[in-house]
Structure 1
Amino acid sequence: MAETRKASRFIVPVAVAGVAAATIGLVPALAASGDPDLPEITAQQLIEKIAASDTQTLSGTFKISTDLGLPSLGGLTSGLTSGLGGGGGSASADPSEKLTQLISGSHTLRVAADGPDRQKLTLIDGSDEYSLIHNGDDVWGYDSKSNEAFHEKGTGVAGDGAEKGEELPGTPKQLADEVLKAAGDTTSITVDGTAKVAGRDAYQLVIKPKQSGSMVQSVKIAVDAANGTPLKFTLSSVEGGKPVVDAGFTKVDFGKPAASEFTFTAPKGAKVTEGAAEKAAEEAGGEAGDHGKLPEGFEEGFPGFGKVFGGSGEGMNVIGEGWTTIAKLDTGAPAPKTDEAPKEIQGFLDSFGDKVTGKFGSGTVFKTKLVNALLTDDGRVYVGAVTQDALVDAANAGK
């Protein structure tokens, strides 16, 4: 039990590695080839074209590659599991667990959508597949490898108030909307040529922070020239190298998918879990959809990255605006010492944490190519898609 308690103290700093997962979500990525000759268009006209897009049906295949600049996670998961007294790596059909695979490496997915009530996403892993299906009032997750299914009733995958089929979680359309609705005086938006994506002619919309101190170099969105549907999403870091997210369709068809595409019945012998998370939230006196909310106005002040931060937002302060927004949280407890962590976790923390000092005292900056977090020794946390210097400056000013 002592080891379990010791390991649990390090979940918060280790979770910094996963913070960018919410930013990435399920962004489909695209391969581009050739530069089609298209009529000139202004950035404002292209944004209006995206906003006016009424695509409600599509199907296709896309690839997503993510590179957060993290050290290898090999052995960390098993170390955490054993340190917390958990079992050994059994498969799960719960989408909240299964889709975390997308935070690293390259993956191939198939997607289908028919309006706001029917969507399907399939993660392909060799001969194994994991499918997430939304059909009306039902949401199913099915893992062919373990023959396990997850079922939830009364939950819309497309999200509250979704009006179009392209609102499938994490599509380029959804990501583009999040970025564009938050763009303001802190953002530069231009059109940078054209591209060929999955056989479709597309314009390239480039979004960049005007502010210094952001970890974001640029966001590039390939927009279908005919119907305004975002086809590709590429997020690049100021650190250079591979994009943090490079996601896009390799095949896409805007025709209506067959109704059978969204029909699912659990195979014989499959283990079916009925909405455990939803039931637990209701029994606790709250609604499942209430978790992960941010302080009011935070998403608007942090272009494209409002959903990076989980938690209730209680005790959280927002510093700055635009691309250099920083969230400050006072945990009220001294930070754990990394040299007291189980060795599996200690090696991981040391590999992407830098010791820093300043007027605020001392602490450790945990780094990715997108989101950085400063954990001070006295228990304060500063986190944002900003540079290490920006975090230290915020901590010094907040002392």
Structure 2
Amino acid sequence: MAPYEPEQGTTDAEELSAGRRKAARYLVPVAVAGVAAATIGLVPALASGGDPDLPELTAQELIEKIASSDTEQLSGTVKINTDLGLPSFGGGAGAFAPGGGGGEDDKGSAADPAAKLLELASGSHTLRVAADGPDKQKVSVLDDAAEYSVIHNGDDVWAYDSATNEAYHTKDTGKSGHGSGKKGDLPKDVPATPEEFARQALKAAGKTTSVKVDGSAKVAGRDAYRLVLKPKDAGTTVGQITIAVDAKTGTPLKFTLTPASGGAAVVDVGFTKVDFAEPSASTFDFKPAKGTKVTEEDGGSARHGSGGFKGAEPAVNVIGEGWTSVAELELPGGQGLPTSGSADVPADAQRFLDSLGDKVSGKFGSGTVFKTRLINALVTDDGKVYVGAVTKDALVEAANR
């Protein structure tokens, strides 16, 4: 199916910005905070039977359709695949999360969402999701022999890990839905479904982005429009973002981010099954079984266990705007990474860090750039960090400013 209209330029993007902001505000959240990584995706498993013939829509009309979507109830299966070019984190990722990891010498819980976050940042995963309005959501991460679930039901947020028979409980103090950043001490603004990825992408779309409707597709057996966002700025690692939007409900069904370098998608998230009927009320019920280890969130600012972060979060300065914006912050203590031969880092770990990084220098001094297929970071020798979805040269330029 041919594109509906030519790629839109700066003037058109200005006209679209209000619609995008509205879309970002009203897209219905489907997952509970802390159940997925900031960049995750899908191996396509679509019910493909040829592109459907749909009425023509402009990009503005399609964004307005997303904004006006009133979907609050659904259930389904989401397939996720992420290819950042990093090794799989596996089950040990929780050790790097705030308060996560558990273990004999750690008071944390293996069911704490922060302990599970990094596991979804690489590889392929299957999620089962359900939502019934702003106060009831459930996300389950399905493994071969285990299941990890986060359930939000009214005032309560439960997480349960069947592999360890551990549960984590906190109170929803925000009462304002996923992404509010007010659910106890859970991670904030963590996308887990196409809706949430689309919301974040539309936030970034502005004068620096061209937007168009580019044909149609079948996703999870449903007719969908393809909305394509493409950065205009040189220096970003983002090639384009494609959002498949349900033709009937306006609900995003699939989100794909391809890198500027080409190749497989870095992020690809989509429904393989979806039902917009009201889920059963029992879907959101949870009561720990006898013998389950339960960790209660203490309500304080620090997480359980010695692995939690303490003190104020570092101040972040944003350099630039749009797709080439770079976040600047300082490492604790004002020192850079340990150098080769340092007693603080095992030799194997140092070799691994060296293999990921490129040494660079400039007006800022010297440092190391650590690269993935999407997010790159420059760590200077004097303890500053510059990070963004930008190229190595863009990071050095930002540090030189």
**Normalising to structure 1: TM-score of the pair?**
0.78
| Secondary structure, aligned partner of 2:313 | coil
- Please tell me whether the aligned partners of residues 374 and 389 of structure 2 are also in contact (alpha carbons under 8 angstroms): yes
The answer to which of 104-113 and 238-247 deviates more is 238-247
Q: For residue 390 of structure 1, what is the amino acid of its counterpart?
A: A
Residue of 78, 81, 85 corresponding to 1:69: 85
- Please tell me whether the aligned partners of residues 28 and 172 of structure 1 are also in contact (alpha carbons under 8 angstroms): no
In the other structure, the counterpart of 1:337 is: 339
CA apart distance, 1:229: 0.1
The alpha-carbon distance between structure 1 residues 320 and 92, as it changes in their structure 2 partners (threshold 3 A), is: same
5+ long unaligned stretches in structure 2: 1-35, 183-188
Alignment of 1:26-175 (within 5 A): 31-32=45-46, 33=48, 34-71=50-87, 73=89, 87=103, 92-155=110-173, 158-160=178-180, 169-175=191-197
- Please tell me whether the aligned partners of residues 71 and 352 of structure 1 are also in contact (alpha carbons under 8 angstroms): no
CA apart distance, 1:104: 0.6
1:18-73 deviations in whole A, cap 9, x for unaligned?
xxx75226x67753323111111111100000000000100011110001112455
- Please tell me whether the aligned partners of residues 93 and 119 of structure 2 are also in contact (alpha carbons under 8 angstroms): no
1:67-91 deviations in whole A, cap 9, x for unaligned?
111245579869989xxx9958997
Q: For residue 23 of structure 1, what is the amino acid of its counterpart?
A: A
CA apart distance, 1:247: 1.0
| Secondary structure, aligned partner of 1:126 | coil
Residue of 184, 207, 217 corresponding to 1:185: 207
Q: For residue 59 of structure 1, what is the amino acid of its counterpart?
A: S
CA apart distance, 1:175: 2.0
> In the aligned structure 2, how far is the partner of 1:63 from the partner of 1:232?
10
Residue of 23, 34, 39 corresponding to 2:38: 23
> In the aligned structure 1, how far is the partner of 2:91 from the partner of 2:38?
24
- Please tell me whether the aligned partners of residues 87 and 122 of structure 2 are also in contact (alpha carbons under 8 angstroms): no
Q: Percent identity?
A: 61
1:167-221 deviations in whole A, cap 9, x for unaligned?
9953222221222133211011111111100000000111111100001011111
1:337-394 deviations in whole A, cap 9, x for unaligned?
1442212321321221111123332210011111111111222221111000111122
| Secondary structure, aligned partner of 2:300 | helix
Residue of 369, 372, 396 corresponding to 1:368: 372
> In the aligned structure 2, how far is the partner of 1:76 from the partner of 1:347?
20
In the other structure, the counterpart of 2:20 is: none
CA apart distance, 1:335: 3.7
Matched, 1:323 2:343: no
> In the aligned structure 2, how far is the partner of 1:220 from the partner of 1:67?
16
> In the aligned structure 2, how far is the partner of 1:78 from the partner of 1:135?
25
The answer to which of 97-106 and 223-232 deviates more is 97-106
| Secondary structure, aligned partner of 1:23 | coil
CA apart distance, 1:244: 1.1
Q: For residue 175 of structure 1, what is the amino acid of its counterpart?
A: F
Q: For residue 134 of structure 1, what is the amino acid of its counterpart?
A: H
1:286-316 deviations in whole A, cap 9, x for unaligned?
xx9xx99xxxxxxxxxxxxxxxxxx8352x3
> In the aligned structure 1, how far is the partner of 2:181 from the partner of 2:93?
36
5+ long unaligned stretches in structure 1: 1-20, 293-310
The answer to which of 255-264 and 168-177 deviates more is 168-177
| Secondary structure, aligned partner of 1:374 | strand
Q: For residue 143 of structure 1, what is the amino acid of its counterpart?
A: D
Matched, 1:261 2:279: no
The alpha-carbon distance between structure 1 residues 365 and 115, as it changes in their structure 2 partners (threshold 3 A), is: same
| Secondary structure, aligned partner of 1:375 | strand
Q: For residue 279 of structure 1, what is the amino acid of its counterpart?
A: G
> In the aligned structure 1, how far is the partner of 2:282 from the partner of 2:96?
41
The answer to which of 356-365 and 60-69 deviates more is 356-365
> In the aligned structure 1, how far is the partner of 2:395 from the partner of 2:178?
35
In the other structure, the counterpart of 1:11 is: none
In the other structure, the counterpart of 2:268 is: 246
> In the aligned structure 1, how far is the partner of 2:181 from the partner of 2:111?
26
Q: Which has the higher helix share?
A: 1
**Normalising to structure 2: TM-score of the pair?**
0.78
In the other structure, the counterpart of 2:219 is: 197
| Secondary structure, aligned partner of 2:60 | helix
The alpha-carbon distance between structure 1 residues 144 and 24, as it changes in their structure 2 partners (threshold 3 A), is: same
CA apart distance, 1:329: 2.2
In the other structure, the counterpart of 2:313 is: 312
The two structures, once aligned, show a CA RMSD in angstroms of 3.2
CA apart distance, 1:235: 1.1
> In the aligned structure 1, how far is the partner of 2:104 from the partner of 2:81?
27
Q: For residue 325 of structure 2, what is the amino acid of its counterpart?
A: T
> In the aligned structure 2, how far is the partner of 1:117 from the partner of 1:98?
22
> In the aligned structure 2, how far is the partner of 1:89 from the partner of 1:105?
29
Q: For residue 38 of structure 2, what is the amino acid of its counterpart?
A: T
CA apart distance, 1:330: 3.8
Q: Matched residue pairs, number?
A: 343
In the other structure, the counterpart of 1:354 is: 358
- Please tell me whether the aligned partners of residues 376 and 392 of structure 2 are also in contact (alpha carbons under 8 angstroms): yes
The alpha-carbon distance between structure 1 residues 76 and 146, as it changes in their structure 2 partners (threshold 3 A), is: closer
Q: For residue 313 of structure 2, what is the amino acid of its counterpart?
A: S
> In the aligned structure 1, how far is the partner of 2:105 from the partner of 2:212?
46
